[in-house]
């Protein structure tokens, strides 16, 4: 070999080693929300912990803002067949793949944020994270997502009967579709990023979501009636591709990544609670938004109206529903 060639090879080798590119493993995570959303902040923290604990060997690339896909169901599919390493996703679309998770998305199953976290951090939560492994995922952790409530552009909703006939956008989830229909509205699945346009053009009359999403999407500009019926408290989940993880990581590295994810749950709850207050302020200060609290009777009307869902979904999840209820006593 010529001297110049040897030198060039040596130079390339030194560059590779010094850049750390040698051992570095990059894992991509898809997030639909913007950079400053509580769950996105959680993912940055997760990336930080993983980098630190793996001595820079594992790098998490947080792709926020929905750049890897606006349709959550399609994103989950990509994770399932290994085209995408991870996604932070609402449990609602994941129930299409992992039916056992439906229990967490049932209306009024959770008494409060605190009692929900008691269950998610306990034995039941751990078991359902494990359950997703039967469907080619790893369940890394849960994130907070508050309570979902209805908003629309047409009228104030003070009782469940007022929803009758309203066209309401839902996530791609049969459970959410059934839930909205059983309350008397007409459910239409639409991708999250298209909802603002759909409401402003009158394709749908409204949607349902928590305070931070209602605010961050600016849906409050086009759907000015927000009723705090809090029909679900479906948590978020961080899922990984079993195919991709088993190919890229050792079992020890998988354990490290899982632990780091778990260690960001409380951080997200804290950021979430702050954001709820900030979002409320933005929405109320904007003027023109009617926020409706239900009377106890009207709230009870919502609770009664969703009971048929417990007939459809309750039987197959009876054991876990009973456990979830007992754990919140």
CA distance 70 to 90: 13
CA distance 204 to 150: 13
For ligand GTR, how many residues bind (rule: CB under 6 A)? Answer: 11
Structure token pair of residue 68: 């890897």
Structure token pair of residue 195: 């909802």
* 229 vs 236, beta carbon nearer ligand GTR: 236
* 30 vs 309, beta carbon nearer ligand GTR: 30
Residue 210 near ligand GTR by CB under 6 A:
yes
Residue 32 near ligand GTR by CB under 6 A:
yes
Angle at 119 between CA 118 and CA 122, to 5 degrees: 85
Q: Which of 40, 54, 90, 264 binds ligand GTR (CB under 6 A)?
A: 90
Site string for ligand GTR, 100-139 (x = CB under 6 A): ----------------------------------------
Residue 213 near ligand GTR by CB under 6 A:
yes
Residue 89 near ligand GTR by CB under 6 A:
yes
Min dist CB 198 to ligand GTR, Å, is 12
CA distance 54 to 255: 11
Min dist CB 236 to ligand GTR, Å, is 6
Min dist CB 325 to ligand GTR, Å, is 24
Q: Which of 40, 80, 95, 145 binds ligand GTR (CB under 6 A)?
A: 145
Residue 307 CB coordination number (10 Å): 12
Residues 6 or more apart whose CB falls under 8 angstroms from that of 265 comprise: 42, 121, 141, 142, 143
Name the strands in the sheet holding 25-31, side by side, starting at the edge strand that comes first in the sequence: 58-63, 25-31, 86-90, 236-241, 137-143
Burial of 184 (C-beta count, 10 Å sphere; 0-12/13-18/19+):
middle
Residue 95 near ligand GTR by CB under 6 A:
no
From 98-106, 115-123, 205-213, 273-281, span contacting ligand GTR (CB under 6 A): 205-213
CA distance 103 to 89: 16
Site string for ligand GTR, 50-79 (x = CB under 6 A): ----------------------x-------
Q: Which stretches of the chain bind ligand GTR, using CB under 6 A?
A: 32, 72, 89-90, 145, 171, 192, 209-210, 213, 236
């Amino acid at each position: 070999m010529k001297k110049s060639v040897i030198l060039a090879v040596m130079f390339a080798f030194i560059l590779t080693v010094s850049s750390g590119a040698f051992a570095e493993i990059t894992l991509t995570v898809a997030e639909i929300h913007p950079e400053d959303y509580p769950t996105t902040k959680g993912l940055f923290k997760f990336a930080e912990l993983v980098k630190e604990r793996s001595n820079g060997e594992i790098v998490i690339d947080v792709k926020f803002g929905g750049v890897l896909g606006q349709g959550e169901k399609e994103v989950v599919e990509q994770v399932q067949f290994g085209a995408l390493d991870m996604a932070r996703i609402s449990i609602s679309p994941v129930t299409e793949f992992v039916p056992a998770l439906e229990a967490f998305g049932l209306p009024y199953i959770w008494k409060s944020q605190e009692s929900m976290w008691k269950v998610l951090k306990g034995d039941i939560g751990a078991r359902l994270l494990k359950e997703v492994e039967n469907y080619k995922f790893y369940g890394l952790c849960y994130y907070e997502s508050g309570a979902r409530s209805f908003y629309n552009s047409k009228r104030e909703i003070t009782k469940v009967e007022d929803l009758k006939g309203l066209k309401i956008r839902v996530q791609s989830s049969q459970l959410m579709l059934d839930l909205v229909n059983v309350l008397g509205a007409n459910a239409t699945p639409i991708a999250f990023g298209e909802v603002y346009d759909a409401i402003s053009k009158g394709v749908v009359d409204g949607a349902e979501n928590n305070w931070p999403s209602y605010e961050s999407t600016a849906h409050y500009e086009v759907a000015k009636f927000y009723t705090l019926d809090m029909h679900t408290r479906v948590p978020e989940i961080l899922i990984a591709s079993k195919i991709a993880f088993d190919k890229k990581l050792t079992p020890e590295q998988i354990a490290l990544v899982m632990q780091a994810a778990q260690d960001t749950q409380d951080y997200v709850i804290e950021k979430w609670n702050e954001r709820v207050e900030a979002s409320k302020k933005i929405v109320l200060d904007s003027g023109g938004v009617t926020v409706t609290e239900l009377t106890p009777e009207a709230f009870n009307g919502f609770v009664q109206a969703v009971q048929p869902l417990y007939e459809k979904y309750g039987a197959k999840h009876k054991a876990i529903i009973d456990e979830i209820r007992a754990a919140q006593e």
